[in-house]
Structure formats: structure tokens, C-alpha cells
Amino acid sequence: MASPSISNPRSLEPTLTPPTPGLAHGRDVHTHEHYLNTTVGWKSWLFSLDHKRIGILYLVSISLMFFLGGMAASLVRFNLLEPQGLLGAEAYNRSFTAHGVIMVFFFLIPSIPAVQGNFFLPLMLGVKDVAFPKLNLMSWYLYMIGAIMTIIALLLGGIDTGWTFYTPYSSLYANGAIAWVVVGIFITGFSSILTGLNFIVTIHKMRAPGLTWFRLPLFVWSMYATSLIQVLGTPVVAITLLLVTVEKVFHVGIFDPKLGGDPVLFQHFFWFYSHPAVYIMILPGMAVVSEIIACFSRKTVFGYKFIAFSSLAIAVLGFLVWGHHLFVSSQSPYAGMVFSVISFLVAVPSAIKVFNWTATLYKGSIRLQTPMLYALGFIGLFTVGGLTGLPLASLATDVHLHDTYYVIAHFHYIMVGAAVMAYLGGLHYWWPKMTGRMYPEAWGRTAALVLFVGFNLTFGPQFLLGMWGMNRRYHSYAPEYQVLNEMSTLGASIQLIGYALPLFYLLWSLKYGQIAGPNPWGATGLEWQTPSPPPTTNFEKTPIVTTGPYVYSAIETERAEEDANAAADAARMRVVQEEQNRNVEPTELI
């Protein structure tokens, strides 16, 4: 897909704002005061109440956790190269547990809300900060305490319960530093609750003048739905973990059958939070993608209200489907029937979103820059992930597929294929706003394509493994599954390159990237109407909103670009002719 425009310098140029040629390496352009240079020193960061700095703190910490979780995933894939397992059972079980715990609780759940939400929600609302800046900083500290406790547990040898912590295995039979991890997740949960609370209050109370609900960017709508789940769902997992502790300390029978408890009750509690948690991961991804698709096809998002309300529908229905994780756990078939039908129904708002995004492309002026590649990848992979959820929502087929690699493949398509792609897309889209500099476009596109290929090669074969009966969490497997496992590991290695590339070129761009200017994408939205990086108070003066969020016009963009190109061609011709007239050799100017 290496489009010819990579070599065409015009494609990198801003469309609606004049380029800033010749200043690519100059530090002198960062003359305005912004959130990065007003104060310096580590204290100014660790005690900052600025939502943008807290967003950056989150960015750094979740990136570290992402690479830790990625290392664990590499161990998992390495082990599965050979049917007998290369690491042995103990090490393998600890690896997949570390991978799951870190990726779910310490990367995916905070990812887009805590980084891009924190940074851009106040900017999109046209306000100075979130409603409760001190709570915001506290949420980061809580996250860090939880993360450090989990890292300590890893250093103590890790745990082997799986990220689901099913009782009675986790409470009575497993070894390892489980208490560290459980308390760590408990504390991190509060970070999630505080972020959600902050966002809900900010969205309700602090919008700029004229910014009515239906003028909000879809990012804000999705973030609102996400925050609702965080505030309503996370306490349940906290209570569950408390109950496990109460049972262990006071011997009250809750989950332990020996004390008269019910181990399946734990699964109900756990999934009551953890299924909505999947929507905490995917709704923000949908938020980012809505912004990117509109900007890079220069069109108003098709069906704005349908996308906005489908986010809320997903948030509400998402609370009522947890029982589809328990179809074979001895839950009553009639309960299973209810959970099955609601799980099928969640597919409707998801489908509405996919169709609307695709329709947005129609008659747009589409530019396939890095954020757009990620966004299009998101739509495709989310479609696959969503549709393969149907056999798991169906009672008949789930019996066979339950706890197999089919499930693994399905939720990785949602949580990596969709959520992580959206996160990376958003990171590239807003990188110039966050740092003031462009990332290198060619590298960006390369990494996006490498990731797409690597991802599908990793998880595509796992659908087949699952259909043919390979169970999850197996450190060794029957030899007939080996070929597909090798493909999967090869894909994982390719993905590794895809994740490492942005790490390098984004860091590189901090110093050497082209100066971005306030609005390199010609995007609408309040966050682009302030300098890059934004000043500490976000806006020089409070913006007044008079239009909806996506006032793009593909036709006008095309016309403007045509005119600009014509003018540039004319100018070039003039230069050439003048040079010919002077009988001078062509210079490097062209």
C-alpha cells in the first residue's frame, strides 16, 4: 500500500494551514510558553496538576507496562513453538498470567482514557483542566502503586492463576505472591474510578460556551460511556477481591466450597466487572477512530447521533452479558439463554458503528496517512473480532469453543486488533499536538502495515486451533497443532517489530521531528485551535463554539488543494522559466 504520495512532499504538508518550511530542526520555534516548558525539573512533573502532564505521566508508565506485558507474551509464544513446551509448565503458567494481568489491568484499561482522554478531553471541551485536578494526579499515583506492587510480585516469582483468578484455585491452591497482585489490582481499580468520575463531572459541568451535547466530538461521547462503566463496574471487582480476602482471613464461606461457599459465584462477580471492562477497552478505541475517520476523509461522521447513542447502548447492554462466560460452568440453561440473547443484541450497536464509519468514507477525500491506516485497520479487525463473538454468544457453539484458542483469537482481535490499533492511531494523530513535532510519516505507515500483517498472522491461525479443539492455557499440546502454533509465533515476532518501531521513531521525533504547527491535519475540533504543544491553560481565551464537531467538506478540501497545487506548479514553472531565461543551470530549489 506504499502509495506514491510517500515520496510526494505535499502529502506531508498541512492542508489548511501554511507550512513552516526551513524550520524543521530549529529549536527556536518553540518560543511560545507551553505546558512542557513553563516549569522544569522532576518535581514539576510528579506534583503537576496539569491534565496534559498527567496524561504524559500515564503515557510513559503504561508504555513501560506494555513492554513488560509484551515480554511475557513473547515468552508465551516462544514456549508454544514446540508441542512439549520449551519453558515448562511453571514458567509458562506464570508468563501467561503476567501477560494477562499486565495487559488488561495496567495497559488496556487505562490506555486511551488515561492518556488521550486526560490530555484531550479538556481541550476538546474548551476548558482549562478536568473538574478535579488533584483527584486526577491521585489517580496516577494509585495506578503507580498498583503497578509497582505487580512488578514486585513478578520479581518474587510471579503468580500462576491466570488473570481471571478463578476460585478455589487462586484462593486455596495456587502458590506465589498472589496477595501483591490482588491488592495491586484493587488499588489500581480506584485510579480507574477516579478518572471516570473526573470525566463525567467535566463533561457535564465544564463545556465551553455553545458546546451543546450534540456538538460534542464523538470522542467525548465514547469517553462518557466509558466513564460510566468505570464508575459503576470497577467497584464490583474491588468488592469481589475484598470478599476473597474476607474469606481467607475470617473463614467466612463465600467462594470456598469447603466452607459452604460457591466457587461459581466468584465467576459471576468477576465477569460482572470484567465483561464491561472489555467495553472500557474498546469504547475509547471507537472514540479515537471516529475522530480520525472524519479528519482523514474530510467528512462529517455519518450518523453522528447513531454512533453517539450506540456507545451508550453498548455501555448499558455490556452490563447484562457477563453470563456468557459461564455457559459451561453449571449455570442454569435458562439463565444462559437470557445472557445469550443479550450478547447477540450487543452486536447491533457495534454493527451500527461499523456501518457508519464505512459510510463516512463514501465520497470523502481520503488520505491514507498513518492514523488513518490504523483507523481502517481498526474497522476491519473489529469487524472480525465482533463477528467471531457470535459463535461464543450462541449457547450451542460456545460449548465446543469455550476455553479454546478460538476465544483467545476472538478477544485479541477486539483488545489488540481494535483497541491497541486505535490507541496507536490516536497516538500518531495527536502526537504533533502533544509534542509540537511530526513523527516521520514513512516510518509510521511502515509500522502500521507491519503490525497489521503480524497481528493477523498471530491470531488468525488461533481461530483454527480453537475450532480443532486446542485449549487455552496449555503449556504443551498435541503435535498436530504445531504448524499453526509456529505460524502464530512467527506473527508475534513480526508484531514485535511493529511495536518497537514507533518506540524508536516517536522518541526520535521528539528532537528531530518536523515542527508541526497548531493544526497539521487541518482538523476541526477545539484541540487544534490552540498552539502545539498547548499552553498550560490550554487556550489564550475561552473558545466559543458555534458549529457541530466535524465541519469538513471533501469537495472544498479537494478544490483548495487543487488550487494550491496549481499555484505551486505555476510558481515552479516561473522559477524554471526564469532560470532558463537567465540561462542558469537548474538549482536544488526544485
268-307 residues near another protein, rule: CB under 8 A: 297, 302-303, 306
24 binds another protein (CB under 8 A): no
Binding residues for another protein, total number by CB under 8 A: 91
Question: How many residues are recorded in the chain?
Answer: 590
Alpha-helical segments (H) within 258-322: 263-296, 304-317
**Could you say whether residue 569 binds another protein (CB under 8 A)?**
no
Name the residue nearer to another protein (CB basis): 173 or 512: 173
Which is closer to another protein, CB of 101 or CB of 434?
101
Q: Which residues pair with 404 in a beta bridge?
A: 471
From the CB of 56, what's the least distance to another protein, in Å? 32
- Binders of another protein among 149-208, rule CB under 8 A? 160, 162, 164, 166, 168-169, 172-174
Shortest reach from residue 563's CB to another protein, in Å:
13
Closer CB to another protein, 397 or 537, in the complex: 397
- Which residue's CB is nearer to another protein, number 131 or number 301? 301
List 17, 471, 529, 537, residue binding another protein (CB under 8 A): 471
460 is a site residue for another protein (CB under 8 A):
no
Q: How far apart are CA 203 and CA 445, in angstroms?
A: 34
Site string for another protein, 396-425 (x = CB under 8 A): xx-xx-xxx---------------------
Characterize 187-222 residue by residue with b for buried, 16 or more Cβ atoms within 10 angstroms of its Cβ, and e for exposed: bbbbbbbbbbbbbbebbeebbbeebeeebbbbbbbb
Report the alpha-carbon distance of residue 152 to residue 101 in Å, rounded. Answer: 13
Q: Is 474 in the site for another protein (CB under 8 A)?
A: yes
**Using rule CB under 8 A, residue 320 touches another protein:** no
Instruction: Give the integer Cα–Cα distance in Å for 87 and 185.
Output: 27
Per CB under 8 A, the list member of 20, 37, 245, 383 interacting with another protein is 383
Taking residues 82 to 111 in sequence order and writing x for each that binds another protein by CB under 8 A, - otherwise, the string is: ---x---xx--x------------------
Compute the distance between CA of residue 395 and CA of residue 298 in angstroms, rounded to an integer: 43
344 sits near another protein (criterion: CB under 8 A): yes
**Is residue 214 within the footprint of another protein (CB under 8 A)?**
no
Under rule CB under 8 A, residue 560 binds another protein: no
- Assess 354 for contact with another protein (CB under 8 A): yes
CB-nearer residue toward another protein: 306 or 508: 306
What is the nearest approach in angstroms of another protein to the Cβ of residue 7? 14
Q: Which of 466, 356, 374 is nearest to 421 (CA)?
A: 374
How far apart CA 15 and CA 33 sit, in angstroms, is 25
Which 479-518 positions form the footprint of another protein (CB under 8 A)?
479-481, 483
Give the residue with the Cβ less far from another protein, 27 or 258.
Answer: 258
Least gap, CB of 525 to another protein (angstroms): 20
In the numeric block, which cell numbers belong to residue 30?
A: 518553540
Number of C-beta neighbours around residue 63 at 10 A: 18
Rank residues 78 and 355 by Cβ distance to another protein and give the closer one: 355
Distance between CA atoms of residues 89 and 85, nearest Å: 8
Per-residue CA distances from 67 to 137, 279, 379, 497 (Å)? 23, 23, 25, 12
Q: Up-side HSE of residue 282: CA atoms within 13 Å toward CB?
A: 31
Site membership for another protein, residue 324 (CB under 8 A): no
Phi and psi torsions of 130, nearest 5°: -75, 175
Residue 381 C-beta: closest distance to another protein, Å:
10
In the bound state with another protein, the residue whose beta carbon lies nearer, of 192 and 340, is: 340
Nearer Cβ to another protein (395/500): 395
Which CA distances in Å does 121 have to 52, 115, 221, 262? Answer: 10, 10, 10, 43
Considering the rule CB under 8 A, would residue 263 count as an interface residue with another protein? yes
Based on the shown chain and the rule CB under 8 A, indicate whether residue 364 belongs to the binding site for another protein: yes
Determine the Cα–Cα distance for residues 336 and 313; give it in Å rounded to an integer.
21
Query: Residues 17, 20, 74, 329: which binds another protein (CB under 8 A)?
Result: 329
Site map 44..83 versus another protein, x via CB under 8 A = ----------------------------------------
Q: By the 8 A CB rule, do 467 and 391 touch?
A: no
| Beta pairing partners, 515 | 437
One-letter amino acid of 255: F
Determine the Cα–Cα distance for residues 464 and 460; give it in Å rounded to an integer: 7
| 568: Cα within 13 Å, side-chain hemisphere | 13
